[in-house]
Amino acid sequence: MKWRLAATTLIPGILIYAAAPAQADEKTYLSYLESHGFKYQNSPGLTTPSGAVQFGKIICENLRKGRPAKDRFGTKVADGVTKVMIDGAQREMCPDTLAAAANPTPTPAVPPPGAGEPPSPG
């Protein structure tokens, strides 16, 4: 009987605790935008904080899939997606994309022409 009471008390608490980081990330993203002078009315297609959060999520999804941050936005809207929005999204909503940007997959070195060939007699 005690385990049922413990389970019904602990499970909702665990679920609330697990959901908290996502909400905190959104709040810190909005704080980042505000502290860097972002103005909603100056950004086409983006006039509310909830819109900014949605844009941040799209930016993160694009980056995680290896696409440009402004991918999937129309041209007019993409012009309003600023470096501040991209930096803020990476720092606050998807910091895992910062590590990928800092450590890109190295490109294989291309040997110069003639490398590895035996010297010509002469």
Position 105 in a domain: no
Residue 7: per-residue pLDDT: 47
Q: Tell whether 9 is covered by a domain.
A: no
Backbone angles phi, psi at 43, to 5 degrees: -115, 115
Segments of the chain scoring below 50 in pLDDT: 3, 5-21
Q: Is residue 7 part of a domain?
A: no
Identify whether 4 is part of a domain: no
What's the confidence (pLDDT) of residue 73? 78
User: In this predicted structure, what is the pLDDT of residue 81?
Assistant: 79
pTM: 0.61
Q: Are 23 and 31 in contact (CB under 8 A)?
A: no
Q: Name the token pair of 13.
A: 């608490």
Q: Are 89 and 29 in contact (CB under 8 A)?
A: yes
Structural domain harbouring 49 = 21-100
